[in-house]
A and B are shown apart, each in its own frame.
Chain A
Amino acid sequence: AQKVTQAQTEISVVEKEDVTLDCVYETRDTTYYLFWYKQPPSGELVFLIRRNSFDEQNEISGRYSWNFQKSTSSFNFTITASQVVDSAVYFCALSEAMGAGGTSYGKLTFGQGTILTVHP
C-alpha cells in the first residue's frame, strides 16, 4: 500500500524567511510519480510539480525548489524568501506511473497536509 507522511502539521514563519516542507513516502512500485499541490484559502488545489521516480534531479522554479532523494524516500519542498501569498495548505502526493501498466492513474495518495502561515 502507498503512504505519504507530512510530519509538520503547521509551520509559521515571518516574511522573507526560507521554509522547508518535509514529505516522506512509502510504495512498493518501482515507477511512480510524486507531486506537490497548494491549497489556498479559496479551496481548490493547485498543481505545483510532478516528479518521476527515475528522475532524481532537483528542480528550481523561481522561489520554489524540490529535493527528491530516493534513498530516503523523501521529496521535500523549499520556499525561499517566503511571502504572505505563500500562506496555504501544501500537500505532497504519490501515484503509480502510467508506464507501470496500471489503470489507476490519477489515484493519488495524499499526505495530511502542512499548513504554512507567513506573517508580514
Chain B
Amino acid sequence: DGGITQSPKYLFRKEGQNVTLSCEQNLNHDAMYWYRQDPGQGLRLIYYSQIVNDFQKGDIAEGYSVSREKKESFPLTVTSAQKNPTAFYLCASSMGWGGYTGELFFGEGSRLTVL
C-alpha cells in the first residue's frame, strides 16, 4: 500500500546524543515535511523539501538537520543543540508544484523522549 513510513515509533535518547528519525514515502510525492507536535501547541514546521537535493527551514529549525538525497526519503536528525527535543515528530508529503492540492499525507509519527 502507498503511504509514509516513519521509524522508529518510539525512541529514547540521552542528553547530548544526536538521533536520526527516518521517513520514507512511496507515493511519488515531490514535497516532504517534518512537523513537531507538543501538547496544546498544535503542529509546528521544522523543515520542508519541495524537491530532491533542496530543503528549507521552517519555523523551528534550530537544533535540527535534514537531507533529501532521494525522492522517497527525508530523514531528520535531532542534534544535541536542540534544547527541548522531547516531542512527537510527524513526517508528511504532498504533491509538488503544479499538482499540489493542499492535502498532506502523514506518517504515524515518532515519539522521542530524552532521558
Please indicate whether A and B come from the same complex rather than being unrelated chains.
yes
CA distance A113 to B40 in the complex (A): 7
Interface centre among B42, B88, B108 (most CB of A within 10 A): B42
Do the beta carbons of A44 and B42 come within 8 Å of each other?
no
Q: What is the interface residue range for chain B against chain A?
A: 20 to 34
Tell me how far the C-beta of B56 lies from the nearest C-beta in chain A, rounded to whole angstroms: 8
**A110 interface hit (Cβ, 8 Å):** yes
Count residues on chain A whose CB falls below 8 Å from chain B CBs: 27
- Of all A-B residue pairs in the complex, the 4 with the closest CB atoms, nearest first, are A110-B42, A50-B102, A43-B109, A45-B106
Residues from chain A with Cβ under 8 Å of B103 in the complex? 47, 50
CA distance A116 to B108 in the complex (A): 19
On A, residues with C-beta under 8 Å from B are: 4, 6, 9, 33, 35, 37, 42-47, 50, 91, 93, 95, 98, 103-108, 110-113
CA distance A107 to B106 in the complex (A): 14
Tell me how far the C-beta of B26 lies from the nearest C-beta in chain A, rounded to whole angstroms: 15
Residues from chain A with Cβ under 8 Å of B4 in the complex? 44
